[in-house]
Structure 1
Amino acid sequence: MELPESIRLLFPPEERARLDLSTIKGDASNRQYFRVTGPGGASVVCADPAFRDAAPENYPFLVVRDLFARHGIRVPELLGMAHERGLLLLEDCGDLMMQDEIPMLDRNRLAARYRQIIDLLVRIQSIRPDEKTPDTAIPFSLAFDEEKLMFEFDFFIEHALNGYFRGRLDGRAIAELRGEFLAIARLLVLPEHFVLNHRDFHSRNIMLFRDEPVVIDFQDARLGLPQYDAVSLLRDSYVRLDASLVDELKRYHFEQLVRHELTAMEWTEYLRLFDLMAFQRNVKAVGTFCYQTTVIGNRAFEPCIAPTLGYLRSSIAARPELAAAGRLLEPLIPGTSR
């Protein structure tokens, strides 16, 4: 059965002939999204082949959506599903991403919006296992452990160094760099500080629907340092914030973590781990953008490569733990030279 016909079967028979389907630009995944408009209004259909192969109660999107909703996090409503066809019928939360609003805001309104989003982030990071979602179930059974962090570093090596930037670093330099990546990963595995993270908490994954932030693309949530999502938001590959505002918002995030008793870190340790985490997260993002460009043939992410590499300069300059990796990455980072 063709996908459009499968989508129409989600709706009452008397509406199917009057439905209008249009493609929505998706994320860097195998999922497809469609806006469906009909007599009952508009809704969104997500077509995910992985949903066909997973029991609904173990499908990460549904598990995390339910967890977030139970804790008051605004997420799209689930309106229906066709598990055997890999389809989810979701509330239509519009087209306005946080990224779209940012150029329209002055400095004060921009700071206020980001504080609102950080409050939302801290609410996510406050979520703990409960009877319905125990610590043995996703997302709490997943973490940014050494294996996961190195998977992301290795993805960068494969698709950036040996793909998009092939020839910029020789084999010896790449092997040395991987050793530095391993040392950095080990600095970031601090389970005593772990909280729940969205895992991709940036301006394209926060919709503004009737001026209310709605969180999307949360299916990869897992435990990790609270800085992980803060880095995603404040070192965003799609939006570059003024450095003074970033400093202000880092302080605000830290203060909210302390207020909600989510961290025992000192401020100086928060900043150190923020810089180390920013390095890892930005390297990971570059690997994804290079993969999308060279393997998938999706060049929409290519303009994000240079700005994201550019973020690495400040992290490397701030932390001696990153100096050796920074030296090896100089041929890639804009504005640096050997």
Structure 2
Amino acid sequence: MELPESIRLLFPPEERALLDISTIKGDASNRQYFRVTGPGDTSVVCADPAFRAIATKDYPFLIVRGLFARHGVRVPKLLGMAHEAGLLRLEDCGDLMLQDEVPLLERDRLSERYRQIIDLLVRIQSIRPDEKTPESAIPFSLSFDHEKLMFEFDFFIEHALKGYFSGKLDDRAIAELRNEFVAITGLLVLPEHFVLNHRDFHSRNIMLFCDEPVIIDFQDARLGLPQYDAVSLLRDSYVRLDPGMVNELKRYHFNQLIRLGLTSMDEAEYLRLFDLMAFQRNVKAVGTFCYQTTVVGNHAFEPSIAATLSYLREYIDVQPELAAAGALLGPIIPGISR
């Protein structure tokens, strides 16, 4: 059966012939999205080949969506599904992303919006396993452990240094850099500080619907440092915030973690780990953008490569643990202090 026919089966028989199905520009995944307009309203259909290959009860999107919804995190409502076709019908939360709103707001209103979103982030980071998602289940069985962080660093080496920036670093420099990545990873694997993270908490995964933030693309949630999602939001590859505002918002996030008893770090440790985590997260993002550009042929992400690399010098200049990696990365990061 063709995909449009399968999509129509998610709707009442009397509406199927009247539906208008249009493609929505998706992310860097294998999922496809469609906006379906019917006689009375619209909804969004996600076509995910992975959904067909896994039992509904084990499908991460449904598990995490249910977990977030039960804890008061606004996510799109689930309106229906066709497991055999790999289809999910979801509430249509519009097209306005946080990324789109940022340039429209004055500083005070923008700061207020980001504080609202950090409150939502801290709500996610407060979630603990419940009877429907025990500690042995997704997302609590996954974490930013050594294997995961090094996978992301290695992805950067393969697709950025050996791909997009081929020839900028020789094999010896890449081997030395990987050793530095191993050392940095060791500083970030601190399970005693881990909380639940969305994993991709940036301005394109926060929709604004009826002036309320709605969180999407949450299926890869896992445990990690609370700084991980804060970095995604405040050191965003798609939006660059004023440095003064970033510092204010980092402090706000830290104070919220303290208020809710979610961390035992002091502020100095929080800020140090924020920079180390930001380095890792931004390097990981550059690897993804280079892969999309050189392997997939999707050049929409190419402008974000330089924008993301430009963050790195800020962490390298202030955190001694990053100095050696920064020196090795110098050929692709102009402006690093020596």
Indicate the TM-score class for this superposition, using the shorter chain for normalisation: over 0.9
Q: Is the 8 Å Cα contact of residues 45 and 87 (structure 1) preserved in structure 2?
A: yes
| Offset at residue 14 of structure 1 (A) | 1.4
Q: Which residue of 1 aligns with 2:244?
A: 244
Q: Which residue of 2 aligns with 1:65?
A: 65
- How many Å separate the matches in 1 of 2:337 and 2:323? 14
For the residue of structure 1 that corresponds to 2:321, the secondary structure is helix
Q: Which residue of 1 aligns with 2:314?
A: 314
Q: Where in structure 2 are the equivalents of 1:1-338 lying within 5 Å?
A: 1-336=1-336
- How many Å separate the matches in 1 of 2:170 and 2:136? 42
- How many Å separate the matches in 2 of 1:221 and 1:277? 16
**Percent of residue pairs identical:** 82
Deviations 1:23-66 (A, max 9, x none): 11111100000000011310000000000001111100000000
- How many Å separate the matches in 2 of 1:12 and 1:248? 50
Deviations 1:163-204 (A, max 9, x none): 111111111100100000000001000000000000000111
Q: Is the 8 Å Cα contact of residues 317 and 336 (structure 2) preserved in structure 1?
A: no
Q: Is the 8 Å Cα contact of residues 71 and 127 (structure 1) preserved in structure 2?
A: yes
Instruction: List gaps (5 residues or longer) in structure 2.
Output: none
Q: Is the 8 Å Cα contact of residues 48 and 86 (structure 1) preserved in structure 2?
A: yes
- How many Å separate the matches in 2 of 1:232 and 1:103? 18
| Offset at residue 336 of structure 1 (A) | 4.3
Deviations 1:135-180 (A, max 9, x none): 0000000000000000000000010011111111111100100000
| Offset at residue 256 of structure 1 (A) | 0.1
- How many Å separate the matches in 1 of 2:102 and 2:308? 18
Q: Is the 8 Å Cα contact of residues 122 and 257 (structure 1) preserved in structure 2?
A: yes
- How many Å separate the matches in 2 of 1:161 and 1:85? 39
| Offset at residue 3 of structure 1 (A) | 1.1
Q: Is the 8 Å Cα contact of residues 19 and 37 (structure 2) preserved in structure 1?
A: yes
For the residue of structure 1 that corresponds to 2:335, the secondary structure is coil
- How many Å separate the matches in 2 of 1:334 and 1:230? 26
TM-score using structure 2 length: 0.99
Q: Is the 8 Å Cα contact of residues 76 and 90 (structure 1) preserved in structure 2?
A: yes
For the residue of structure 1 that corresponds to 2:90, the secondary structure is strand
Q: Which piece of structure 1 moves more, 288-297 or 5-14?
A: 5-14
- How many Å separate the matches in 1 of 2:244 and 2:223? 29
| Offset at residue 337 of structure 1 (A) | 8.7
For the residue of structure 2 that corresponds to 1:334, the secondary structure is coil
- How many Å separate the matches in 2 of 1:168 and 1:236? 25
Q: Is the 8 Å Cα contact of residues 306 and 334 (structure 1) preserved in structure 2?
A: no
- How many Å separate the matches in 2 of 1:323 and 1:334? 14
For the residue of structure 2 that corresponds to 1:330, the secondary structure is helix
Q: Is the 8 Å Cα contact of residues 330 and 337 (structure 1) preserved in structure 2?
A: no
Letter of the 2:204 counterpart:
R
- How many Å separate the matches in 2 of 1:98 and 1:83? 31
TM-score using structure 1 length: 0.99
User: CA 1:69–1:281 in 2, change beyond 3 Å: closer, same or farther?
Assistant: same
For the residue of structure 1 that corresponds to 2:218, the secondary structure is coil
Deviations 1:71-90 (A, max 9, x none): 00000000000001100000
Q: Is the 8 Å Cα contact of residues 326 and 336 (structure 2) preserved in structure 1?
A: no
For the residue of structure 2 that corresponds to 1:15, the secondary structure is helix
- How many Å separate the matches in 1 of 2:15 and 2:277? 49
| Offset at residue 109 of structure 1 (A) | 0.2
CA RMSD of aligned residues (A): 0.9
| Offset at residue 335 of structure 1 (A) | 3.2
User: CA 1:259–1:337 in 2, change beyond 3 Å: closer, same or farther?
Assistant: closer
Instruction: List gaps (5 residues or longer) in structure 1.
Output: none
- How many Å separate the matches in 2 of 1:219 and 1:19? 28
- How many Å separate the matches in 2 of 1:134 and 1:337? 47
Structure 1's consecutive aligned runs of 4 or more residues displaced over 3 angstroms after TM superposition are: 334-338
